[in-house]
Amino acid sequence: MMQKIANNIWKMSIDCNLYFLDFKERIIIDTGKRGNRHLIEQFLGKLIDLGSIKKVIFTHLHYDHIGNF
């Protein structure tokens, strides 16, 4: 479910495309809908401690993009 698309960049295809950027600061772009939280915890949680994320960027404010974090 998590796909590495470049060095330090991961993509998770759920209802929206969630991106995880693992650089000096850890950033998530779009967080998916609340009902998919268990998938995010399961797959992204294997890569990192979710508490280490410093920024969240939303591309827009639809529920399927902002439901977590």
pLDDT value of position 69: 66
DSSP conformational letter for 33: -
Over its length of 69 residues, how does the chain's per-residue pLDDT go in tens digits? 899 999 999 999 988 899 999 999 999 999 999 999 999 999 999 999 999 998 999 999 988 889 886
Q: What are phi and psi of 56, to 5 degrees?
A: -130, 130
Q: What are phi and psi of 15, to 5 degrees?
A: -65, -30
Q: How are strands ordered across the β-sheet holding 17-22?
A: 2-6, 9-13, 17-22, 26-29, 55-57
**Half-sphere exposure of 60 toward its Cβ, with a 13 Å CA cutoff?**
4
